[in-house]
Amino acid sequence: MRQGTVGRVLRLGGKGLLSLCPSIVVSKGPKVGSRVQAIWETLRPLAGTTLSRRVWAYRHGFLPDKLLLYGLTPESRQDYLPCLPYKKAHPLNGMFARLIDNKLFLPYVLGQWPGVAPRYFYMVSGNEVITLSDDHAGVRGRRVSLKAMLAACRDVGEVIIKPLADSGGHGVLKLRFSDGEWHVNSVRMPEAALLAKLGAITDSVVTECVVQHEYSARVFPDSVNTIRVVTMRDYDRGEQFVAYALHRFGCASSSPVDNWSQGGLCCKVDLETGRLSKATEKAMQWHETHPDTGAAIEGTRIANWESMIERIAEMANALAFIPYMGWDVVITADGFRILEINSLPGIYMPQVHTPLLTDSRVRAFYARHGVEPV
């Protein structure tokens, strides 16, 4: 970029940048925050990049950190799904995005497959608690106190509390009652303090804590380690297909969740064999073994892989009115459980391993929804 252009961008700020990038300016309204954030991230310094390179990335639909995360070049960018047009196109599932993004609806969406969703016990919003389970809380739809809820949860041993509409592992609490004490995310907490903490949360669900398969617990036992399976619609063939899968593992820094954004690891899954690649942190440190436990990751084979991936494809086809889903799956001793389904699965984790658009069916799906290289 010429020095005069750089000076113009710096003088005019966001307007100058937007005038250079008319093809990916998002409309006014609820997405204006995303535009402001993108402009800010492009203009502020980032080690290992220059302003001209950051503006180049923005013009092609990428935030500047993707220059480093993907090693973007003019030759390779056509193979990577750009993040700004992707976010602009949301919701790709239209009105049905709400059906799967709200975690309260999961048992109803998966109702035709008994035992696939974890048991849901309560919905909590401040001091209001509503029972969601007949077998655990007595009568479904009954209002109970926080104290009564905790008393019932003691018999379960461990439960998970998570916000209905949050993502990335934010706000997740793991409650365990043992030796006469409550532990919240592995930290002891008096019941009075726990009641005060729960009274401050809003719109969350209380579910069972799924017990993961031994292979996964061996790698890292202090989080429930999930597999993100992404299904898409092949409009030419009229069927859903599994586009890719990633395995996440928690770390000491992310526990009790396994999310990559919280400090966890992610590795690519070979769809044919169910074997794992090396794992990476978001800081792009690669690991053949888990950095905390020393357990092998690369080459590990996921238990129950074939039956799980076939069943997910069948379920996706049964829910064909939802063309795009990110399934969070936990392998268990007796099969698998689905913890949640996402309508806007992140595209950074998969593309750290392989550019998404090198797969022709994946490229065709995103193009159908107006998401293409800029």
Of 208, 225, 247, which closes a domain?
208
Q: Tell me: the pLDDT tens digits for 243-295?
A: 999 999 999 999 888 988 889 999 999 999 999 999 999 888 999 999 999 99
**Structural domain contains residue 366:** no
Residues 20 and 104 in one domain: no
Q: Tell me: the pLDDT tens digits for 62-91?
A: 999 999 999 999 999 999 999 999 999 999
pLDDT at 37: 81
Residues 328 and 194 in one domain: no
pLDDT at 49: 92
Specify the number of domains making up the chain: 3
Q: Tell me: the pLDDT tens digits for 199-245?
A: 998 899 999 999 999 999 999 999 999 999 999 999 999 999 999 99
Residues 233 and 300 in one domain: yes
Residues 98 and 179 in one domain: no
**Structural domain contains residue 126:** yes
Q: Tell me: the pLDDT tens digits for 12-29?
A: 444 455 454 444 444 333
**Structural domain contains residue 352:** no
pLDDT exceeds 70 at position 130: yes
Residues 133 and 100 in one domain: no
Nearest to 241 by CA among 227, 251, 231: 231
CB atoms within 10 A of CB 233: 25
| Phi, then psi, of 201 in degrees rounded to 5 | -85, 160
Q: How far is the C-alpha of 310 from the C-alpha of 207, rounded, in Å?
A: 26
**Structural domain contains residue 186:** yes
Of 153, 174, 208, which closes a domain?
208
Q: Which domain holds residue 233?
A: 94-115+213-343
Looking at residues 4-10, what average pLDDT do you find? 46
Residues 243 and 321 in one domain: yes
Residues 254 and 319 in one domain: yes
Residues 103 and 220 in one domain: yes
**Structural domain contains residue 328:** yes
Query: Is-contact 366 81, C-beta < 8 A?
Result: yes
Of 148, 174, 208, which closes a domain?
208
Q: How far is the C-alpha of 340 from the C-alpha of 107, rounded, in Å?
A: 9
Q: Tell me: the pLDDT tens digits for 32-70?
A: 446 778 888 888 899 999 999 999 999 999 999 999 999
Identify the CATH number of the domain in which residue 323 sits: 3.30.470.20
Residues 240 and 302 in one domain: yes
Residues 330 and 238 in one domain: yes
CB atoms within 10 A of CB 352: 21
Tell me the Cα Rg of the chain.
22
**Structural domain contains residue 135:** yes
**Structural domain contains residue 374:** no
Residues 79 and 133 in one domain: no
**Structural domain contains residue 198:** yes
Residues 18 and 76 in one domain: yes
Instruction: Name the one residue in this structure whose structure tokens are 């799967």.
Output: 100
pLDDT at 27: 39
pLDDT at 169: 62
CA atoms lying within 13 Å on the CB side of residue 167: 12
